[in-house]
Chain A
Amino acid sequence: MRITNFADIIEEAAGKRRKRLVLAPAPEGGLPEALSRAARDGIVFPIWIGKARAGNQLFETQRIEPYEILDEPEPEKALKLALSLLREGKADILLQGDMAHQPFLDAVLDRETGIGEGKLASFVSLFDPPAPAKLTMITDTYINNFPSLTEKIAIVENAVRLSNLLGLAAPKIAALSAIEQVNPAIRSTLDAAVLAKMSERKQFGQAVIEGPLDIDCAVSEKAAARKGVHSAVTGQTDIYLVPNVEAGTLTTQMFVFVARIPVAGVLMGTSCPVILDLPFVPRENKRVEIALAVLLSGG
């Protein structure tokens, strides 16, 4: 099934087996609203790792069941325990609790004790625009500062995997730069050209990469034609590959705050889905992120 909007994601997740979602380190202040809702809807079975007394109280007050509580008041240990549950297959999804991003990600991606796949992790900003009627991605918008070509290959593969999961077998990818011509002084144009050539040789399967493209060529077929660029990607882009994290985070924020396009974030490159708590995703869309994690965890 081709998933073309956030409502589809939520609907599709509702039809899946109930997943075990672990919240760690669990915040004492309250349950994230989206988690309460997903638990009530039977989409997830929540596992709380934190101070047991606080957890029991929260679940009882909110009348959510079933649930599981593991008493571990130390945040670092709580996260470690969560990661071991995920590695052993006793939990399916990790929801970031009360911990700063850097130590949280360091633990999650730790080679020995984390759930990195030994591959590069990257972040996808997933948008549900009013038109065209399809989901659009920008990546990497959070994890890697100035990815090398090798890292960009992994970032593309991560995004293609997400596309495939959403039912899009042959996503169209625009490798963005400042200009649509290859200029040795601008590294992103070189990387983009190499990625485009790799795609031509089917190194990304059915995915099609065009680059370098500037944003106007990527967004508008008409604008691209004015510059003499003709490609299956222009005006049809599913995935915008940004050259660096400055472009990634700042462009995402323009999409969210200026264009008001609904957003959800997805961390890719881990063996189990991880839901981060990032400031440019509105709390109301956490629900979509949980549903996406349910789809990503398979079954």
Chain B
Amino acid sequence: MLLTSFSEIDGQAVRQGPKKLVVLAPEDEEFLLAVKDSTSRGYVEPILIGSEDRIKRLADRIAFDISEIEKIYEDDRQVIADQGIRMLFDGTVDIASKGQIPTAYIYRAIIREESGIRRKTVSVVTLLEIQGLGRLTSFTDTGVSIHPDFQTKLDIIANAVFVFHLLGYRKPRVAVLSGQREIGGSLTSAEHAAAIRKAYEAGEPGECEVMSATCLTDILFPPGKPFSSYDDINLAGSSFPEIMVVPELTTGNILAKLDFAFPHVRRRSLVMSSRGPVIIPSRSDFHDAVTGEIATGVVVAARIKEGTA
């Protein structure tokens, strides 16, 4: 089933839950509130790893009865990350979620586990729901590689394509973004886009369509179709891509979190590891957003198990 909105994902999460979720350092009120909400909605059965003091104090404050919930008390941040990610890879849990812990620790733990399996690029897919588009889209990699090279971008695309296949998109469109304009010479990001398009023509990187356009202007207003007024913008009827590969991390971070500026855009980020989704909320996210990300993790985990991909 094709999932075109976050509310459809939330509906699926109720039907396909509860899944086992390990939460790495739920030591912030908004994060723990999200775990409470996700548990009561039937999305997840959580396991909490983190500092005993902080978890208990916060649980009391938000009236979350954690007496029946499995807890592992640990203070060392890297140990928390390693242990939680291990649980995902050994099959104890279906999903892992970042709490109040530096993201780098989690990426490090995932990369270590992955290296035991096969060489794999770890990347973050930020799913976006844009009002008026009528389907989901995404930016990637919005979290791991600072300056991904051509090969890394191919891996990043493959990871995102996998996620979109799980969400029911048979042949997601991919745009390799660039700030290339008519001036300023050739940007590396534009060279990557051209090389990836060539690789695509030669059969890489999986079941998707790599577009030749490298920015929204080219997608929505290609040569011969002038941008006269805002009434000319028709997102739903356009070939707006499902996957937008950002040129580098800083640009990706700015683009991915524009939901803070735009009330009609919502965001959910995850890392697709070979053993299941790892949810990566932003430290500034509020509990509603984190709960939504957990729901997405539940659906993705369920679909991996069903072999929908």
Seen from chain A, the residues whose Cβ lies within 8 Å of a Cβ on chain B are: 100-102, 105, 142-145, 176-179, 185-186, 188, 214-217, 219-220, 223-224, 226-227, 242-251, 253-260, 262, 279-284
Contacts and interface: CB of A to CB of B under 8 A. Distances in A.
Interface stretch (B110-118, B158-166, B213-221): B213-221
B90 interface: no
User: B215, B226, B265: which has the most chain A beta carbons within 10 Å?
Assistant: B215
A258 B187 contact: no
Contacts of B255: 247, 250-251, 254
Contact of B284 (A220, A249, A251): A220
A223 B226 CA distance: 38
A34 B226 CA distance: 15
Given A215-B257, A215-B258, A249 B183 contact: no
User: A176, A186, A214, A281: which has the most chain B beta carbons within 10 Å?
Assistant: A214
Interface in B159-206: 177-179, 181-185, 187, 189
Given A215-B258, A250-B251, A282 B179 contact: no
Contact of B178 (A178, A246, A281, A284): A246
B182 A245 contact: no
A249 B264 CA distance: 21
A227 B183 CA distance: 38
B221 A219 contact: no
A216 B189 CA distance: 25
The 8 A-B residue pairs whose C-beta atoms are closest, nearest first, are A246-B179, A223-B284, A178-B253, A247-B251, A253-B216, A219-B260, A101-B182, A178-B250
A223 B185 CA distance: 37
B-side interface mostly: loop
Contacts of A248: 179
B182 A102 contact: yes
B283 interface: yes
B253 A145 contact: no
Contact of A246 (B226, B248, B284): B248
User: A142, A216, A226: which has the most chain B beta carbons within 10 Å?
Assistant: A216
15 contacts: A102-B182, A178-B253, A224-B284, A226-B284, A227-B283, A246-B187, A247-B255, A249-B179, A250-B251, A255-B261, A258-B258, A282-B230, A283-B226, A284-B228, A284-B230
B149 interface: no
A17 B220 CA distance: 39
B70 interface: no
Contacts of A226: 30, 283-284, 286
Interface of B: 30, 130, 146, 177-179, 181-185, 187, 189, 215-217, 220-221, 226-230, 232-233, 235, 246-255, 257-258, 260-262, 264-265, 282-284, 286
Contacts of B250: 176-178, 186, 188, 243-244, 247
A280 B218 CA distance: 9
A178 B215 CA distance: 20
Given A178-B253, A216-B282, A283-B228, A260 B185 contact: no
A136 to B, nearest CB: 9
A101 B180 CA distance: 13
Given A186-B146, A283-B228, A284-B229, A254 B216 contact: yes
Contact of B217 (A176, A259, A279): A279
Contacts of A262: 230
A217 B215 contact: no
User: B184, B215, B251, B253: which has the most chain A beta carbons within 10 Å?
Assistant: B251
B43 to A, nearest CB: 23
Given A214-B253, A257-B235, A280-B217, A223 B229 contact: no
